[in-house]
A = this chain, B = another copy of it.
Amino acid sequence: MQRTVFYISDGTGITVETLGHSLITQFSNISFNTITLPYINQPDKAKQVVETINQHVEQDGQKPIILATLADHAIRAIIAESQGILFEFFSIFLDPLANALNCKFTHTVGKMHSIANYKHYKHRMAAIHFALACDDGLNTQQYHKADLILMGASRTGKTPTCLYLAMQFGIHAANYPLIPTELPRVGLPQALKPWQDKLFGITIDPHRLHQIRTERRANSSYASLTTCLNDIQSIEHLYQTYHIHYLDTSKRSIEEISTIILDKMAISRKLQ
């Protein structure tokens, strides 16, 4: 079964895409064809969108679903005249929310993803640049500024996780590669010792690590299952010895890894 879904917004479309996606993934029997149309902020654009939707009614032989965030009443009214089935988030939520808050709302288009203030913007940029500067064991002398230091074997998703934490939550996250063969001899690397409260360990299913490394260097000793098994064993032993929180990232997305880490480390998060 196939169904067309339009994500329509007068802003970036990120909010409607996020909520819409979380709704449609609850219908696993249907294959969705999603079309995102952002910046529909002029009546002319909105009228064109209505035409596109109506063409799909004919083409698909059924009404498309329209999920929309449209703060502007005039644009909303135009889209409402299409033949699709419209769910417009602001009209559904804002009135009951205004009642609950006992306060009027302001109808500001695209406020969510605009630059709220320069200080806030700088904080987020600083976090992104920190993640880049402190990637892969670089610049350990900056660890006093870190909210969090991720450690783990190579190719286990440390870099993307640090970048996501910076981008989404403004967290200063560094990452440090563990060299498993050294661990039994040296224990916790010197550079990490002063920062034990900030450490979080990444681990992974050795078979998954073997698969990932094989794609990079097939048939190498680095990629062999034996190496991967030994590496993960040494690493998990280190985490246990030093009572470091850790997480198996094998079947987790960057979003899951990032939010589980913040939860386990009790770091409070603020959407950027």
Mark A residues whose CB is within 8 Å of B: 1, 3, 11-15, 17-19, 21-23, 25-30, 34-36, 38-39, 63, 65, 69, 71, 85, 87, 89-90, 92-94, 96-98, 100-101, 103-108, 110-115, 121, 124-125, 128, 132, 157, 159-160, 163-164, 167-168, 251-256, 258-260, 263, 268-271
Contact = CB atoms under 8 A, between A and B. Distances in A.
A111 B259 contact: no
Given A85-B100, A97-B87, A271-B17, A114 B65 contact: no
Contacts of A114: 251-253, 256
A93 B92 CA distance: 10
A63 B132 CA distance: 42
B163 A97 contact: no
A65 B110 CA distance: 22
A98 B12 CA distance: 27
21 contacts: A12-B256, A14-B255, A17-B271, A21-B112, A22-B111, A22-B112, A23-B93, A25-B111, A26-B71, A26-B107, A27-B103, A36-B268, A65-B101, A87-B96, A87-B97, A92-B92, A113-B256, A115-B253, A128-B159, A128-B163, A167-B254
Contacts of A39: 259-260, 263
A253 to B, nearest CB: 5
Going nearest first, the 9 A-B pairs with the smallest beta carbon separation are A22-B112, A113-B255, A26-B105, A12-B259, A15-B22, A25-B111, A85-B100, A18-B18, A19-B19
A44 B112 CA distance: 33
Contacts of A256: 11-12, 110, 113-114
A96 B85 CA distance: 10
Contact of A26 (B21, B30, B94, B263): B94
A160 B167 contact: yes
Contacts of A90: 23, 26
A25 B159 CA distance: 31
Contacts of A263: 38-39
A28 B106 contact: yes
